[in-house]
Structure 1
Amino acid sequence: MLYKKIAKPILFSMDPEKAHHLTIDGLHAVSKFPGGKELLRGLYAVPEYPELRTELWGIPFANPVGLAAGLDKNAKAVTGFSSIGFGFMEVGTVTPKPQAGNELPRLFRLPEDVALINRMGFNNVGIETMAQHLQETGKRTIPVAVNIGKNKATPNEHAEDDYRACIRGLYNYGDFFVVNISSPNTPDLRSLQHGDDLSRLLDAVQEEMKLQHQQKGGAAKPVLVKIAPDLREEEVSYMVQTIVKSGVSGIIASNTTISRDGLTHRHKGEMGGLSGRPLTERSTRLIHSIYAATEGKLPIIGSGGIFTAQDAYDKICAGASLVEVYTALIYEGPGLIRHLNEGLLTLLRKDGFKHITEAVGSAHRR
């Protein structure tokens, strides 16, 4: 209520990217104040429900609702986001070298469509500064995934070098890693989702992950692949086969879409990736297809258009073990996380499930 009545009108009166930076800087600042983390937890913390607690890849998740990549691009506000109820979060996308991204303006709100369009272009501070930010965070209270990509100037035939560099530079700081090959805002990046390019890239990523594990010890860290929603059924099938063969730990479905079907806002013609409500059903269908193609053997994180507990639950029943939000957080505020968890608990109990793992993929068994 506080967000919608006070904060949102102020933020929505500003340029979207300026509002974005204000939010990140504000969360960072509040979490640094004495008692700041406690204040955030007091306002927004989510009660721990045993039914929603889960474990994947040996990593415990207090609840299944995470923050998608793109909001905390530089891992600047990890402590703040960790204090408002998320079960996990992604930082990034990060590239080996810092880059400015695309020209301004590059972020657009579409309120009538409850959506965003962005063409940010992997603007980030690079792996060295992100490592410093994650080191300064200290002991974390939720799992943090590092979303990695390639620099714009790196040709696709050398893309694996950039992904390897990200893993080497940040291996100590991530609980798991996400290979981003599906952003529509880096030229030719999405072509890495197909054929021999995908196979070669994932083999290189897996090799680097194993090498870092051997050198630095500890538990092996999982790596996931984030894919686009704009794929034909046969492309999904072939891609999933390649991903499974590579031995990666899971899939995030999905990134933003380049589709503009059904949009009404004046910004609908802007180039970039569309997120929010128009992506809800599309991403759920993709999760359903992936789960069917893998026979439920490869964990999926569902992302795209989650605004209500029913949206999240539909993705879980389609096959997602965890879910992520981004655009809904902009429109609904931090109270969203508690609402999603409480709603998920109600829906689980309504269907007679005693634990969230029982609901995962249940749409395929009905």
Structure 2
Amino acid sequence: MPDWSYHSIFKPLLFRLTSKIARDLTLHTMGGLSRMPGGTFVIKTMGHFEQSAVLQDEIAGVPIPCPVGLSGALDPEGIAHKALAQLGIGFIELGPVTVREVRCDAPIERVSEQEAIVYPDGYANAGADAIAERLRKGTGHRLPHFVRLRPMPGSTPREALLQQQELLEKLAPYAAGFYIDGLAEGWPPDEALAYLREVRQLAAAAGKPALLYIPPQLPEGMLRELQPASWSGGVVGEAQREEGSRRICVGGHALLSAQLSLVRRLRAAGAATIVAAGAVSQPQDALELLAAGANSVQLHSGFVYAGPGLPKRINEAILYERIRDTEEPEPPSFWANWGWMSLLGISMMIGGVLTWLIASTSVLLPYDETFLGVSRSVINRFNGHIIHFMSHDRITLAGTMISLGIFYYQLASHGLRFGSHWARTALLTSCTVGFSSFFLYLGYGYFDPLHAIAAAVLLPMLLLTLRGLKDYPSRKPPGLRNDAVWYRAQWGQCCFVVLGFGLAIGGLTISFVGITQVFVPTDLAYLGVTAELLADWNEHLIPLIAHDRAGFGGALFSLAVAIAASALWGVNQGESWLWWTFLWGGIPGFAAGLMVHFHIGYTDFIHLLPVYIAVLLYVVGLYLLYPFLVRRAGKKAEVTVTA
């Protein structure tokens, strides 16, 4: 459920359900997918978060792969932790955890205008035994767990201390560290302080770091008495408790300013490690908290309102901040790797143009006529539509080749050249599919020497591209805010992802038809003959047409992979080159597909309906993405010049 599908499809539907049903449905769906064979691969592929060593950090001495964590209340039963671990999460909070289960069946509430979530009971959890058993069985991921320990509601400090001792004994084998919660129990300040000191000693005896959990509404004068420097660190809490109630509100626009203030005070008080929990709804919020002194952030309500792509976006923003002032690596030379892929793209474009010229004039090559044993004029005397039909197959193939060449050239020049992992993955996947589709030409036993020569020329270019490829973090400023332009871009991205997958289905279908029945009913209606009659007239005619159809299907599928991968992984603020790639890369394919059908009179509405839908997605997607990809690039350029 990436952001493009979350905001355009799933969020409008989920927000019509009650909060608990929506949460359970989402978590069970993601959790179920992650437990299926290949499920985590699908989740990781859709999100495409590539961990960078630059993001590695620690919390109180515990190594974490990145400084973005997940709140315990977001998935209290750990149903989808294995799935969420693929999205750019570096650590997971469990809790609050009490010695016994605290049940609450009252509904969870969403306050959408404030982007907040209200829980009816801040103590609700499954209890220590259930959580310890779940951890003992395994979680399906390797991320560290930090367990938030909390007393049972209504406990005295002495009762709470005994409870914490029991919790530590049961959970220490599975926890990387503990968040010690006890400042929101309503105890007198001196009793709360004494209780926390003793729990800290118990945690130290268990050999685990103990971080003090500090509610955002902590009185100003109490922070000094807590002596933050004596703890392994501090966690700036995510929940604001309603006076005289166990209801808590997580997130909300007002929480960020309170957390920023508390983070600064903790840093000034000498806290070794600071985790800011619950106030982040966009990358800019995370950067502000880190700049104020936090070491890491923990997501809760922002995950619900901003979408599951938020961890990835935050990590990209943090990564950019960490590398922006470092020396930029020297780009590889043209002949090192990316230049060969550029040449492959140019060759595809040239080949597409030549194919288009031939397909719009003679249509048949000399070796085609040799294979058939008849000339073009003889075919026309038998049926005047056959040559037109073959021209339509070959011109659509030509347009697809040109479009594919444009994508390859652009992905090489703007992605592969600068060490973009997603661009490399897109190119290699598309090329693998494209070269493999060569064998589809043989589906009916027709060997095309020109296609064989083209494959023999292009394959070395692909192999030379594979030399010395390296991944580098992007040095382009990422998008930091969930503004209207960003939300609009999610819909545009959705259009192109759907377009890519739709073309992939179309390419596979055409290839399958090409090597099996060859024709669909509308084809035979246009030709005005049956397949049997064509085979009886010339036994080589259907194999030749099948070769064209299978080849076009393979090329279309290869283009679909490039489009889908670019839309899934490449849509980032200010990447104007990608918008132009979508624009120019789409025009040849769509122009060929539409123009040739109308030129030869093959205008059956059902046959062309998929093309009409594809064109609509293409135009709408370009319109929606333009402000995010192109206008934002212009604004950045203006800022750079002014500076």
TM-score over 0.5 for the alignment? yes
**2:220 maps to which residue?**
233
1:153 CA displacement? 4.8
**Alpha-carbon displacement from aligned partner over 1:146-183 (angstroms, at most 9, x marks no partner):** 1121222533441112222211111111111112235x
**1:255 maps to which residue?**
238
Instruction: Note if contact 2:250-2:300 (Cα within 8 Å) is conserved in structure 1.
Output: no
1:84 CA displacement? 1.9
Give the structure with the higher percent strand: 1
State yes or no: 1:338 paired with 2:306.
Answer: no
Give the structure with the higher percent helix: 2
State yes or no: 1:277 paired with 2:264.
Answer: no
1:299 CA displacement? 0.7
1:127 CA displacement? 1.1
Q: TM-score, normalised by structure 2?
A: 0.47
**Counterparts of 1:271 and 1:87, CA distance in 2:** 29
1:91 CA displacement? 1.4
Instruction: Note if contact 1:78-1:137 (Cα within 8 Å) is conserved in structure 2.
Output: no
**Alpha-carbon displacement from aligned partner over 1:121-146 (angstroms, at most 9, x marks no partner):** 32221111111211222563211111
**Counterparts of 2:95 and 2:77, CA distance in 1:** 6
Question: Which sits farther off after the overlay, 31-40 or 318-327?
Answer: 31-40
**1:306 maps to which residue?**
280
Q: Comparing both chains, which one has the higher relative contact order based on Cα–Cα distances under 8 Å and sequence gaps of 6 or more? A: 1
**Alpha-carbon displacement from aligned partner over 1:198-236 (angstroms, at most 9, x marks no partner):** 333223323332443xxxxxxx32111211111232222
Instruction: Note if contact 2:282-2:306 (Cα within 8 Å) is conserved in structure 1.
Output: no
**2:262 maps to which residue?**
286
1:326 CA displacement? 0.5
Q: Letter of the aligned partner of 1:335 in structure 2?
A: G
RMSD: 2.5
**2:137 maps to which residue?**
136
Aligned sequence identity (%): 25
**1:64 maps to which residue?**
67
1:311 CA displacement? 0.9
**Counterparts of 2:166 and 2:77, CA distance in 1:** 16
Within 5 Å, which residues of 2 pair with 1:1-366?
A: 1-101=4-104, 104-105=106-107, 107-138=108-139, 140-182=141-183, 189-192=184-187, 195-212=189-206, 220-239=207-226, 241=227, 243-244=228-229, 247-258=230-241, 272-294=248-270, 297-350=271-324, 352=325
1:353 CA displacement? 6.9
Q: Letter of the aligned partner of 1:197 in structure 2?
A: E
1:123 alignment partner, SS class = coil
1:109 CA displacement? 1.0
**Counterparts of 2:78 and 2:97, CA distance in 1:** 9
Structure label with greater radius of gyration = 2
Instruction: Note if contact 1:226-1:255 (Cα within 8 Å) is conserved in structure 2.
Output: no
1:58 CA displacement? 3.1
Aligned length: 323
Change (3 A) 1:6 1:291: same
Change (3 A) 1:166 1:26: farther
Q: Letter of the aligned partner of 1:132 in structure 2?
A: E
Instruction: Note if contact 1:256-1:304 (Cα within 8 Å) is conserved in structure 2.
Output: yes
Runs of 5+ in structure 2 lacking a partner? 328-643
Question: Which sits farther off after the overlay, 51-60 or 13-22?
Answer: 51-60
Instruction: Note if contact 2:71-2:277 (Cα within 8 Å) is conserved in structure 1.
Output: yes
1:310 CA displacement? 1.7
1:313 alignment partner, SS class = helix
**Counterparts of 2:33 and 2:266, CA distance in 1:** 40
**Counterparts of 1:142 and 1:45, CA distance in 2:** 18
Q: TM-score, normalised by structure 1?
A: 0.81
**Counterparts of 2:237 and 2:204, CA distance in 1:** 26
Question: Which sits farther off after the overlay, 138-147 or 302-311?
Answer: 138-147
Change (3 A) 1:285 1:304: farther
Q: Letter of the aligned partner of 2:90 in structure 1?
A: G
**Counterparts of 1:110 and 1:353, CA distance in 2:** 42
Q: Letter of the aligned partner of 1:202 in structure 2?
A: L
**Counterparts of 2:136 and 2:291, CA distance in 1:** 37
Change (3 A) 1:12 1:66: same
1:293 CA displacement? 1.6
1:51 alignment partner, SS class = helix
Change (3 A) 1:136 1:36: farther
**Counterparts of 1:7 and 1:139, CA distance in 2:** 26
Change (3 A) 1:174 1:315: same
1:90 alignment partner, SS class = strand
